[in-house]
């Protein structure tokens, strides 16, 4: 079949084909652009793969020169690829090649090859579909592995023996699960069986690349699907064992607890429906991560997980370090969410005081709204009436937060009197006494003993220093 109209939507394809004809090179557009078009996915920014039988770098240079992009051309000689960006679209050019692998490495031995060699080395049939860019057959479909049929059947399968595909490049196992999660496709049984058999091979892949695929799963529309596939394939136990530790239900005297693995996935999906913030989704994944190490059984209370929020917060840095996630404000945000995730829910079941609300808003700061998304997501039960009741009470907490915030302006507040001023007024060096005064003022404001303004703070400060036996220099 011919899809000239697909290519005509972007005149760059015609120019690439014309230049390829001048060089006498067979040239095709292949991969994600073609796949997504047939899936009717409306992407704003594309990464477009151009494959040519010959030197991809040579073709890229000529095309970049034609569009005045020579200075923006990035050439990777070791990989035989080159790329440049044109109108928010990144074009990557590569020469058709065939590959062979050493079992103990992901680095292939690469040789020049035909288009079919190049399609054969690709990960999945849905990514092998190509359209001709040369004038003679412009727009013709080249689909030797029937990727179009797999698109129609919404299934992920490899163009060759899946065990060879995954053994050669184990990251493809993660990519297959990622595509299934992003596209809501099934992985064919023989393909999934090969993932299970080769799961241990993922250990030769760098953590950075594993985490990059994991985050794409996390950012999919239904991330729990991807995590369930990782779990059943045996990959999750290798790349994120702490999450697998959440799985299972213990029972004593007929009393059990919920399966915290599936609960976590439900919370993750709930957050995904409300927010596309990657780090809030990471917080959903880690919010109960310490439950396995804090699980206890008590004859009176049943199963308890006391302190799991604090211990979980302490686990966050080590998890981020191992997963090669950034050890910066993103990590501290996730840590804060894990530490505070029970606080709003605790307020639902008790009489809500202004003081408790002030402390929550003070500790959450600008992240209070994201914390509330996480806490709403954390309300899960097989009993719809129970969920509805909790969410209704939770609405009262949110209303109270808005009222207290409007009245007291606590979010991210700093005590009205700075430590430098206290030292100057009382001729004090930096030290314990200055800290006591500052902390007493802060606690008084949070407890509602004084208003959050300078006049009230100064008056209360004089009371504190009198009790400490200090004298003003003024």
pLDDT digits (tens, 9 = 90+) for 449-465: 888 888 888 888 888 88
Neighbouring CB atoms inside 10 A of 301's CB total 9
Sorting pLDDT into bands at 50, 70 and 90, what band is 420? confident
- Least confident among 97-106, 289-298, 333-342, 434-443: 97-106
> What's the confidence (pLDDT) of residue 397?
81
Residues 403-426: what's their mean pLDDT? 77
- Is residue 74 scored above 90 in pLDDT? yes
By percentage, how much of the chain surpasses pLDDT 90?
55
Q: Which range among 9-13, 225-229, 456-460 has the greatest average pLDDT? A: 225-229
Q: Which range among 96-100, 166-170, 192-196, 293-297 has the greatest average pLDDT? A: 192-196
Sorting pLDDT into bands at 50, 70 and 90, what band is 365? confident
> What's the confidence (pLDDT) of residue 51?
94
- Least confident among 17-21, 240-244, 305-309: 305-309
- Is residue 261 scored above 70 in pLDDT? yes
Q: Where are the domains of the chain?
A: 4-153, 419-468
- DSSP string of 197-249, one letter each residue: HHGGGGGGS-HHHHHHHHHHHHTSSSHHHHHHHHHHHTHHHHH-HHHHTT---
- Is residue 247 scored above 90 in pLDDT? yes
> What's the confidence (pLDDT) of residue 1?
77
- Is residue 45 scored above 60 in pLDDT? no
Give the predicted TM-score (pTM) of the model: 0.85
Who contacts 124 (Cβ-Cβ below 8 Å, separation ≥6)? Answer: 147, 150, 156, 157, 158, 159, 172, 175, 176, 179
- Is residue 340 scored above 90 in pLDDT? yes
Q: 49 with 31: CB under 8 angstroms?
A: yes
Distance, in Å, from the CA atom of 391 to the CA atom of 394, rounded to the nearest integer, reads 5
Residues 404-409: what's their mean pLDDT? 73
> What's the confidence (pLDDT) of residue 80?
85
Q: Which residue has the higher pLDDT, 100 or 407?
A: 407
Give the chain's mean pLDDT.
88
> What's the confidence (pLDDT) of residue 460?
85
Residue range 4-153, CATH number: 3.30.460.10
CA–CA distances in Å: residue 176 to residues 206, 216, 230, 367: 17, 12, 10, 34
> What's the confidence (pLDDT) of residue 447?
81
Q: 59 with 93: CB under 8 angstroms?
A: yes
Sorting pLDDT into bands at 50, 70 and 90, what band is 105? low
> What's the confidence (pLDDT) of residue 260?
94
Burial profile 302-327: b = 16 or more Cβ within 10 angstroms, e = fewer: ebebeebbebbbebbeebbeebebee
> What's the confidence (pLDDT) of residue 437?
86
> What's the confidence (pLDDT) of residue 27?
95
Residues 242-269: what's their mean pLDDT? 91
Residue-wise pLDDT tens digits, 161-203? 999 999 889 999 999 999 999 999 999 999 999 999 999 999 9
- Least confident among 22-26, 72-76, 397-401, 411-415: 411-415
How do strand 251-252 and strand 186-187 relate by DSSP bridges?
Answer: unpaired
> What's the confidence (pLDDT) of residue 107?
61
Distance, in Å, from the CA atom of 376 to the CA atom of 391, rounded to the nearest integer, reads 7
How do strand 47-52 and strand 97-101 relate by DSSP bridges?
Answer: unpaired
> What's the confidence (pLDDT) of residue 361?
84
- Is residue 211 scored above 90 in pLDDT? yes
- Is residue 472 scored above 60 in pLDDT? no
Residues 340-360: what's their mean pLDDT? 79
> What's the confidence (pLDDT) of residue 109?
55
Sorting pLDDT into bands at 50, 70 and 90, what band is 101? low
- Is residue 102 scored above 60 in pLDDT? no
- Is residue 401 scored above 90 in pLDDT? no
Sorting pLDDT into bands at 50, 70 and 90, what band is 471? low
Sorting pLDDT into bands at 50, 70 and 90, what band is 30? very high
> What's the confidence (pLDDT) of residue 10?
87
């Amino acid at each position: 079949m011919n899809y000239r109209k697909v290519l005509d939507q972007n005149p760059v394809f015609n120019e690439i084909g014309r230049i390829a004809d001048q060089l006498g090179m067979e040239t095709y557009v292949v991969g994600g652009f073609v796949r997504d078009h047939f899936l009717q996915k409306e992407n704003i920014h594309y990464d477009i793969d151009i494959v040519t039988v010959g030197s991809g770098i040579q073709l890229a240079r000529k095309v970049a020169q034609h569009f005045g992009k020579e200075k923006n051309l990035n050439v990777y000689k070791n990989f035989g690829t080159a790329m440049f960006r044109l109108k928010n679209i990144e074009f990557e050019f590569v020469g058709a090649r065939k590959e062979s692998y050493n079992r103990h490495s992901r680095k292939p031995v690469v040789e020049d090859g035909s288009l079919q060699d190049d399609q054969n080395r690709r990960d999945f049939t849905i990514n092998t579909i190509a359209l001709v860019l040369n004038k003679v057959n412009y727009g013709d479909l080249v689909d030797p592995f029937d990727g179009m049929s797999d698109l129609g059947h919404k299934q992920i399968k490899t163009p060759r023996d899946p065990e060879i595909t995954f053994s050669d490049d184990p990251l493809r196992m993660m990519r297959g699960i990622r595509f299934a999660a992003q596209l809501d496709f099934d992985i064919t049984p023989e393909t999934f069986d090969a993932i299970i058999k080769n799961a241990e091979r993922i250990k030769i892949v760098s953590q950075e690349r594993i985490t990059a695929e994991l985050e794409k799963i996390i950012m999919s529309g239904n991330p729990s699907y991807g995590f369930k596939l990782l779990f059943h394939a045996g990959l999750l136990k290798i790349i994120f064992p702490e999450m697998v530790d959440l799985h299972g239900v213990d029972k004593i005297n007929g009393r059990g607890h919920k399966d915290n693995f599936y609960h976590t996935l439900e919370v993750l999906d709930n957050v995904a429906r409300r927010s596309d913030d990657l780090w809030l989704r990471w917080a959903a994944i880690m919010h109960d991560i310490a439950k396995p190490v804090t699980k206890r059984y008590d004859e009176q209370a049943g199963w308890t997980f006391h302190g799991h929020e604090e211990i979980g917060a302490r686990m966050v840095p080590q998890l981020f370090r191992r997963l090669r996630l950034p050890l910066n404000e993103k990590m501290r945000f996730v840590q804060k969410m894990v530490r505070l995730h029970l606080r709003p829910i605790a307020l639902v079941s008790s009489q809500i005081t202004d003081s408790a609300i002030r402390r929550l808003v003070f500790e959450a700061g600008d992240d209070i709204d994201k914390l509330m998304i996480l806490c709403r997501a954390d309300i899960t039960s097989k009993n719809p009436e129970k969920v509805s009741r909790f969410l209704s009470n939770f609405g009262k907490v949110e209303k109270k937060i808005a009222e207290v915030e409007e009245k007291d302006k606590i979010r991210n507040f700093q005590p009205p009197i700075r430590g430098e001023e206290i030292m100057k007024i009382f001729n004090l060096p930096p030290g314990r006494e200055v800290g006591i005064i500052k902390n007493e003022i802060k606690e008084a404001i949070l407890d509602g003993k004084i208003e959050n303004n300078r006049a009230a703070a100064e008056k209360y400060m004089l009371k504190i220093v009198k009790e400490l036996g200090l004298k003003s220099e003024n």
